[in-house]
Chains A and B, each alone.
Chain A
């Protein structure tokens, strides 16, 4: 089953800006999907249309087979959304925000109180349930938005740059939580600027540029598109580095250098060369962020 099916989606804003142009996109139920693109590419517009914040100009959107226009209530109940910016009432208490949100989805107050307790505990906010939301730290606010998005048990969770401005520890904690959710069957669509996040978590990704989807594939297949791959070599000492200059190594540390090599067996040749010049290899590590490289290449095209 498709979690999201977008057909010929077009959005022209009042100032005649064409934000999306006949976009077609399908995301299967259970996917962990990334929507990538530069600022202004159309990611937030697409998410806005799917979630009901932005009016579409043309096209159709189905959420778990529910048309967002004809079966609007059913479609909305499937979606939980975590927007880019904090958008809760800053004067309300954390738990009240969740109870109210559940009420908007037609969940009875007594049931909403139970669900809010479960979600707040899962996200480590139970102790802060009676805290007015404006007094929460940035990371807590971010978790509160995730809790709010989950309080009605959606089958699809949409996160618009959920880890922007979040410290490393919290970011990793959020990744773990999202992975668990996905394992439980929740389809996840996220936009992010941290491509490391995509490589580590997402199975599929689409790249959007100037309002059009220009690449849509498995993350593993997308990184295969790169002809070059970066490696980090740790060596005993750097004597002999001059003799392998033609590979353009860049020194990172007293014993570490980085080099970009062609995917077609160039690694073997390079290792032979390194041995030949008398350098002793201690460790070889492929560099991450391959997707970042691909993304930059595509954006420059």
Chain B
């Protein structure tokens, strides 16, 4: 019955939220401190020498990117670490033997992870107010890009958690794939300032579209077409969602 599945969904989300709130010094505080250091070093110390980018101060320019970075990394790491640790302790079997459907398992973990991403992103945004006054051009666009990016990377984290067999496997993607993509995704610069080759190469980085779509919500400008960004985001969310459901149905990494 749908009502039972909704209760199961709320149970998973609640458990995830309680988990990351209980260990807030590990889940909420570190990204806020890291991003604050970015504000101080890149925004204050170096940014004062750079001047304006596309009509706004460098400090204000990097705020959306840094908020988005926190959303992405927190959503991802919440799901991958929570799901893998439940696999490692075998407590995931509590879910597997229950009447919870695969789509509810997926939705519960993903929403739980996305909520952490949004919490951290919001905290980082509030910290940024101490350094600059970011303007809000369109709140709906900000919310859209924040939520969909959080969902997308929570889904990616879940896929990583499903495949992971050991702790090394859950740090490989964040360290060697996610971090380079985030740093090269236009967080600290506009791709207009890059040589043509790097501009073209950047077009293949999905994080570029998220950062720019998000930045558009603040300032009304973007390096890429905002509709393309939105479509790419929706496409990836749907694709990873479908892939995730397929893996859960097949029992990959969970059932023998």
Contact = CB atoms under 8 A, between A and B. Distances in A.
Nearest to A148: B94
B26 to A, nearest CB: 13
B202 interface: no
Given A55-B256, A73-B101, A103 B94 contact: no
A85 B89 CA distance: 10
B95 A104 contact: yes
Contacts of A108: 7
Interface in B61-91: 86, 89-91
A88 B97 CA distance: 13
B251 A106 contact: no
A90 B255 CA distance: 21
A18 to B, nearest CB: 14
Interface stretch (B8-16, B45-53, B130-138, B161-169): B8-16
A88 B99 contact: no
A103 B97 contact: no
Contacts of A194: none
A100 B94 contact: yes
Contact of B98 (A48, A76, A89): A76
A107 interface: yes
30 contacts: A48-B256, A52-B96, A52-B97, A52-B255, A54-B255, A55-B251, A73-B1, A73-B99, A74-B99, A76-B97, A76-B98, A83-B93, A88-B89, A88-B91, A100-B11, A100-B94, A101-B94, A103-B7, A103-B10, A103-B11, A104-B8, A104-B94, A104-B95, A105-B8, A105-B98, A105-B100, A106-B3, A106-B7, A107-B7, A109-B11
Given A87-B93, A100-B11, 9 more contacts: A48-B256, A53-B93, A73-B4, A73-B99, A76-B97, A89-B89, A103-B10, A106-B8, A109-B11
Closest 10 CB pairs of A and B: A106-B4, A103-B11, A104-B98, A87-B90, A73-B99, A76-B99, A89-B91, A106-B7, A51-B97, A104-B100
Interface of B: 1, 3-5, 7-8, 10-12, 14-15, 86, 89-91, 93-101, 251, 255-256
